[in-house]
Amino acid sequence: MTEKEKRDNQELYDGSFDEELENELIQAKDLCFEYNNTKPSDKDKREKLIKKILGKTGKNIVVESSFVCDYGYNISVGENFYMNHNCVILDCAKVEFGDNVFVAPNCGFYTAGHPIDVELRNKRLEYAKPIKVGNNVWIGGNVVVLPGVSIGYNVTIGAGSVVTKDIPSNSIAVGNPCRVIKNI
C-alpha cells in the first residue's frame, strides 16, 4: 500500500519522503503562491487559479489572499462561500464546506495530526481525518478546527475558538475547547 493510500484510509503514513505526495504538495503550493501574488484587481486570473487549486467549488466564491493549503484537491466549497485573509487548510483528508459559509481572517482547518507516542511521532508518521462544515455557518476570526471535526448547519463559531469535537446544528459555540453555549 502506498503512503497516499494509507493517508486516504486514515492510517498512519509517512508523507515526508513520498515522491507522489511531495510532488502534489509542491504543485499546490506553487499555485497558492501564484494566487497570493496575483493582483486583487485581476479577478479573472484569481478566479481561474482558485478553481484550479480547489477540488470543487460553487459559482459564487471569494478566497482572500493569503491562502495556503497542502493539496487543494481535497477541498470542496459550496455556493456563496467567503474566506477572509490568512487562512490555512491542511487538507491531507477531505475538507468540505457547505453553502453560505463565511470564514473570518486567520483561521486554520487542520486534517493532519501526529501520534502522541513519541517513537511513532519521531518516525515522522502522521494521520489525516476529514473536516466537514455544513450550510449557513459563520466561523469567527482566529478559529482552529482540528482533525475529524464536523460542524453542523446554521452554526456560529465564536472568534478564537479551538474546535476539537463535533458541533451540532443550530447552535452557537465558543471557547477553547469550543463548546455549545446556546441553541438557536
Domain count, the chain: 1
Q: Is the C-alpha dihedral spanning 146, 160, 134, 95 positive or negative?
A: negative
Residue-wise pLDDT tens digits, 9-33:
999 999 888 899 999 999 999 999 9
Kindly report the number of other CB atoms within 10 A of residue 110's CB atom. 21
Entry pTM: 0.96
CATH number of the structural domain spanning residue 50: 2.160.10.10
Residue-wise pLDDT tens digits, 36-76:
999 999 999 999 999 999 999 998 999 999 999 999 999 99
Q: Is 114 designated active site?
A: yes
pLDDT, position 21: 94
Range of the domain at 157: 3-183
The HSE-up count of residue 22 (CA atoms within 13 Å, CB side) is 6
Kindly report the number of other CB atoms within 10 A of residue 136's CB atom. 17
pLDDT, position 173: 98
The mean per-residue pLDDT over the stretch 156-174 comes to 98
pLDDT, position 110: 98
Burial of 97: CB neighbours in 10 Å, binned 0-12, 13-18, 19+: buried
What CA–CA distances, in Å, run from 89 to 75, 130, 143? Answer: 8, 11, 12
In the chain, pLDDT over 70 holds for what percent of residues? 100
pLDDT, position 16: 82
Residue-wise pLDDT tens digits, 105-121:
999 999 999 999 999 99
Which of 26, 15, 130 lies closest to 75, judged by CA? 130
Active-site position among 4, 29, 52, 114: 114
